[in-house]
Structure 1
């Protein structure tokens, strides 16, 4: 008898033909920033977002163990019922201090945080201006909000201005952007966006997921690095990248956090994250503030490797904002370095060839990137060494001939 799910076989075959079918790789070692053991062998790891190599740090492990011994594993309920524990409360207060914000709200993931903040701030009759390369969690939050969505060209503030002024009479206006774009590795023109928001009475929300821990004197992100904390009050972040734990958070004025607590469905209807993860994040924040050399060495390494790639013919764009209006310049040093190959089948072929040579560089395909923009996403961490980078460069040169390098762009 035919199954109503028979069509899934045809759909999987189509995804396979187009290079879009995905599969899981089981990691069999701890999440180490530079090397991992997996079902495909031990690999030099350039695929992790563990930028400061804290996910397996013994100090975070010990903090989590102590919390488990004290309060157990699961939180048992949503935060508004009985799921919000002492470690959660301390972490929320600590994040607000770290971000120089009035309040902070914890969520189970950065995805949940972005969906929460967009859907709580705007709805029908409102306008969202969203960068064309924003993360999928922002895109989904915009769709769920029910507001009109206007997509401006990536990093193009003038296009955002045109879209904004062409829509008078809306109730509320929200501009939302990543600070450091997760696939492109470049930084949004935040100062110019802040100017635009202030000129037109728009709310501005910035997702610092990939910048937290890496940029800024304290390590809180690009907003801090550019001296914009007082002008960009609402920010989203994660605990799962540079901070080596898991979960998401939103910081902002007390009124905004109170509103989110009462209306954000991904907060209200999700079981709270574990207190062990909160304890680990607390230790990570302490390390980020007390050991600035971790991010300084990472940014210096990233800047050097970007320059080396360019010298070998790879078209690696500048990661810093292109506009000259930034009062505080940022280095061309983002730790995310994409090599765009375009075709998803070709991209996955090169990624597989790198794995066969002992190197993990993930191939990224639609819908994670636009059609025609499939890429190899290199992410550097503070645990990588110069010999690691030499090995990666050598294999890239062997697998991508000069013509491919000249045609690549990121």
Structure 2
């Protein structure tokens, strides 16, 4: 296996090798993390609504641990389908105004499992080029043709749909908010093309669920398009502050997935305590509208501060605020310098993003105060000047 060492050396030379680093939450300091013995402002987490350390979620999970135990012991189709699952799925269906819902272990399993269950040889999946890796891998596993369209390019998508209009089944799949750019999919255009070409539409609300919509239902709800989406997917690992994923849709869709989605069929069910914790998180997401208001206010403040400083910031209104640096090595140095100033922010490099677009992906939380973000923006500007990312 000597080839691994050689390939790893090449990754290191290109500043592309990745490492695992320990981090720990700070319950008494929301919006912060600890690395080593250092307290860092956490601008890298997806805990958008600041729920990960919420005492009500923790207490629900603690109580369920005492009655249900540590694990489920089997897949859901064997003996792992504990009562908390049914309660959560009923609440999810009501929340999304759909006929039924199904909980998966995580977003990767949901996306890869759903696409593979629905599509196969002779079918075609139209996928935005900036979609999450789990969507791409689901298409590969399905053996359907992968028609990747340029990011948010309706004309290119229409060209591809014309080319493949005679395929047996057609599926358009997109992130609602793109995880590395923080911008929105043009969902109205996708609905139009779905109707025109008789395709199914699947939307991944991983980075928009909990944030958009009156009760956090997501971007589809915010735009009034939820009834036009055939497969609605979201996660519990970001705004909900817990873990897992869900799919909402028709009763027949959920019946089909129970019978055909391999990650669901062949995986041990989530621990009942975790599923119960998600139910409590869902209750909080629905009623704590102030968290969404605070998050959008923080996002506007931080984004405008970085733009005024002169950084190359991708447009958007989400809590994902990417600053494009370009060079891998310089982006790594930027991330290390930020940590030296007390800020946790990760360097995102290829293949996660296209070549030449390495970036610092800042990710905000409702737990951050205006002062913390203003002070952070000043430090980020100082480092940008020091590294030559900004000119004086």
Shift, 1:276, TM fit: 1.1
Given the superposition, is the C-alpha separation of residues 40 and 364 from structure 1 closer, same or farther in structure 2, using an over 3 Å criterion?
farther
2:3 to 3, 7, 13: 7
- In structure 2, the residue matched to 1:404 is 389
Shift, 1:42, TM fit: 1.6
Q: Over residues 85-128 of structure 1, what are the superposed CA-to-partner deviations in whole Å (9 max), with x where a residue is unaligned?
A: 00111111111111111111111100000001111111100011
Shift, 1:39, TM fit: 2.5
Residues in 1 aligned to 2:262 and 2:212: alpha-carbon distance in whole angstroms: 31
Secondary structure of 1:400 counterpart: helix
Shift, 1:216, TM fit: 0.6
C-alpha contact 2:123 2:168 (8 A) present in aligned 1: yes
Residues in 2 aligned to 1:393 and 1:123: alpha-carbon distance in whole angstroms: 48
* Unmatched 5+ stretches in structure 1: 320-332
- In structure 2, the residue matched to 1:25 is 21
Whether 2:68 is the aligned partner of 1:71: answer yes
- In structure 2, the residue matched to 1:323 is none
- In structure 2, the residue matched to 1:340 is 324
Shift, 1:310, TM fit: 1.7
Whether 2:88 is the aligned partner of 1:109: answer no
Residues in 2 aligned to 1:16 and 1:391: alpha-carbon distance in whole angstroms: 33
- In structure 1, the residue matched to 2:299 is 302
Residues in 2 aligned to 1:284 and 1:71: alpha-carbon distance in whole angstroms: 19
Q: Over residues 237-257 of structure 1, what are the superposed CA-to-partner deviations in whole Å (9 max), with x where a residue is unaligned?
A: 111111011111111111111
- In structure 1, the residue matched to 2:154 is 157
Shift, 1:405, TM fit: 4.3
Residues in 2 aligned to 1:38 and 1:158: alpha-carbon distance in whole angstroms: 46
Shift, 1:33, TM fit: 5.1
Shift, 1:305, TM fit: 2.0
Shift, 1:28, TM fit: 3.4
How does 1:45-56 map onto structure 2 within 5 Å?
Answer: 45-56=42-53
2:340 to 356, 367, 384: 356
Shift, 1:139, TM fit: 0.7
Shift, 1:218, TM fit: 1.1
Shift, 1:308, TM fit: 2.2
Shift, 1:303, TM fit: 1.7
Alignment RMSD: 1.4
Whether 2:234 is the aligned partner of 1:250: answer no
How does 1:275-314 map onto structure 2 within 5 Å?
Answer: 275-314=272-311
Whether 2:370 is the aligned partner of 1:386: answer yes
Q: Over residues 17-47 of structure 1, what are the superposed CA-to-partner deviations in whole Å (9 max), with x where a residue is unaligned?
A: 1111111111234577510112262211001
How does 1:220-259 map onto structure 2 within 5 Å?
Answer: 220-259=217-256
Residues in 2 aligned to 1:17 and 1:317: alpha-carbon distance in whole angstroms: 28
Shift, 1:346, TM fit: 1.1
- In structure 1, the residue matched to 2:356 is 372
Shift, 1:313, TM fit: 1.4
Secondary structure of 1:404 counterpart: coil
1:128 to 104, 107, 125: 125
- In structure 1, the residue matched to 2:187 is 190
Shift, 1:14, TM fit: 1.2
The TM-score, its normalising length taken from structure 2, stands at: 0.96
1:217 to 194, 207, 214: 214
Secondary structure of 2:304 counterpart: helix
The TM-score, its normalising length taken from structure 1, stands at: 0.92
Using the TM superposition, name which of 309-318 and 174-183 deviates more: 309-318
C-alpha contact 2:314 2:323 (8 A) present in aligned 1: no
How does 1:160-179 map onto structure 2 within 5 Å?
Answer: 160-179=157-176
Q: Over residues 181-203 of structure 1, what are the superposed CA-to-partner deviations in whole Å (9 max), with x where a residue is unaligned?
A: 11100000001100110111000
Secondary structure of 2:40 counterpart: strand
Residues in 1 aligned to 2:25 and 2:389: alpha-carbon distance in whole angstroms: 34
Residues in 2 aligned to 1:264 and 1:42: alpha-carbon distance in whole angstroms: 42
Aligned residues: 389
C-alpha contact 2:305 2:374 (8 A) present in aligned 1: no
Shift, 1:7, TM fit: 2.1
Residues in 2 aligned to 1:353 and 1:81: alpha-carbon distance in whole angstroms: 51
Residues in 2 aligned to 1:272 and 1:188: alpha-carbon distance in whole angstroms: 32
How does 1:203-214 map onto structure 2 within 5 Å?
Answer: 203-214=200-211
- In structure 1, the residue matched to 2:140 is 143
Given the superposition, is the C-alpha separation of residues 134 and 290 from structure 1 closer, same or farther in structure 2, using an over 3 Å criterion?
same
